[in-house]
Each structure stands twice: as C-alpha cells, then as structure tokens.
A = this chain, B = another copy of it.
C-alpha cells in the first residue's frame, strides 16, 4: 500500500499556542511528523512543552536554513513518506518562504493543505480602529547593519498619504538573532530618511499609531504625533507601526477612545 504524501501548513495564530485553532491541533495530532518554524515571526508567549502536550507528540523546530538553504529538503522528504504538518506563526502562507515550499511540494506530487490562523495583518488593522479598505500597500522597515538605509518604507508611506490611504509598517524580525525592530528604532530610521529626502512625509506633526504584542492579553496601542510617540514605552516586542492617511470621523473617534490619540485630531476631521 502506498503511503499518503501530504503536507499541511497550519497557522499557529499570534502570541502563544492558545491561539491555534481546534482544526490546526487536530491536523497535528493526526500527522506522522510535525515541524514548526519560528523565525518568520515572534510568538512571545509560546510554550513549546505545552504545545507538544496538546498535540501529543514531538515537534521538530526547523531553522531558517532548513527551509531556505536546503530548499526545505527535510520537510519535503517527510511529506513524501507520510502525513506531515508544518506549524507556522500567524497565517501560514503570508511568508514567501512557505509559498515557495508549497510550490515545490506540489511539483513533487505532494498534496498540500492549509489551516489558516490569525495574522498580524488583520489583528493590527483591527486594533488600530482604522478601516481595512482604506489601507494602501504595506511595507517592512528593515533592521539595518550598515550605513545604507532602505528608503522604500519612506516612499511607500508618502505615496499612500498622497491618496489619503493608511500604511501598515511591519517592523523587521530576525528571530534567530533575537533582534526585533522597535517603534522607537523605526521612527529613527524614518526621521533620518526625512532629513535626507525632504519630501515632508514624516514630520513632527505627523500622526502615527504604535502597536505592540498584538494577539496577547496586554497589547499596547497608542496614537500620537511621531515625536511624542517615539518617547512612549511600548514594552516588549513584537512592534508594528501604522501611518494613517485621511481619517473618517469614526476612525478619529476610534483613535481617541481606543488608542489615546490627542483630542485635537477630532477637530481635523470635522
């Protein structure tokens, strides 16, 4: 009898194993082998022992190089020979790496399936109180090692602002190096770009919303003008940053009520 060749991508959701769905756990329980990657996102309250207890089997934690450099060989080999689950933080196909792995699996005749999980994308939009359909393209502000600064985030925010759209900025995560960009660092990068490019995108009176630990029981959500926002203590990572475009009255009200924005923004939308 031939064995089942199957790879199921299971989204763990945000923050901890408690945000995994019933279906996701069920898939992991039924699997011959369970892998997990933790380098595309940070799940600050994840407890691996508890997750293994919930699933009832060992979870193999894979590193970036297992997925990228060896082209996911270990995972594909396992999936060719039996039912295999890859646990992924958030919603599992938001990272290019996993789409790439899925393509390679399908090309080898391995059936792929997906169990979705809560993503930082919808979580942050929801927590911000802003309306989903008013977000333009999103962007990542990368951690920089050298003197060169990537100006893409600056231009993306600027383009969105021109058409009144909001911008969701993901802040870079290098989980294997334990390096997480903070809202403070991200604003520093943008202030430097403003000084260099002078296109009046991020100025002292620019409003932004910082969000920390989306999906945990103590998320920090604070809206303020960027200079003040940079001094706010958001606590532990992961952090995210939103630049609002033109606000509807209800969005401004949401920012004041749910994110302690300055009352003055209500005047701007009257």
Interface, chain A (partner B; CB < 8 A): 11, 13-14, 16-23, 25-26, 54, 90-94, 96, 99-100, 102-103, 106-107, 113-119, 121-123, 125-127, 129, 131-140, 159, 163, 165, 214-215, 217, 219, 250, 253-254, 257-258
> Do A26 and B21 contact each other (CB < 8 Å), given the known contacts A103-B254, A134-B137?
no
CA distance A100 to B254 in the complex (A): 8
Q: Which residues of B contact A138 (CB under 8 A)?
A: 132-133, 135
CA distance A127 to B113 in the complex (A): 10
Contact present for A254 and B99 (CB under 8 Å): yes
Q: Which residues of B contact A54 (CB under 8 A)?
A: 22
Q: Which residues of B contact A121 (CB under 8 A)?
A: 119, 121-122, 125, 132
CA distance A91 to B126 in the complex (A): 8
- Contact partner of A92 (CB less than 8 A), chosen from B25, B126, B134, B163, is B126
Contact present for B133 and A122 (CB under 8 Å): no
Contact present for A103 and B137 (CB under 8 Å): no
16 CB contacts below 8 A, A to B, read A18-B22, A19-B21, A21-B21, A22-B54, A99-B129, A100-B250, A103-B258, A114-B123, A118-B118, A119-B119, A121-B121, A121-B132, A122-B122, A132-B138, A133-B137, A134-B137
A149 vs chain B, min Cβ distance (A): 18
A221 vs chain B, min Cβ distance (A): 10
> Do A18 and B26 contact each other (CB < 8 Å), given the known contacts A94-B122, A136-B137?
yes
A246 vs chain B, min Cβ distance (A): 12
Q: Which residues of B contact A91 (CB under 8 A)?
A: 118-119, 122-123, 126
A65 vs chain B, min Cβ distance (A): 19
Q: Which residues of B contact A113 (CB under 8 A)?
A: 217
> Do A127 and B258 contact each other (CB < 8 Å), given the known contacts A21-B118, A118-B11, A122-B121?
no
CA distance A129 to B132 in the complex (A): 21
Contact present for A13 and B116 (CB under 8 Å): yes
Q: Which residues of B contact A25 (CB under 8 A)?
A: 22
The 10 A-B residue pairs whose C-beta atoms are closest, nearest first, are A93-B126, A119-B122, A116-B118, A91-B122, A18-B23, A116-B123, A19-B21, A103-B257, A18-B22, A121-B122
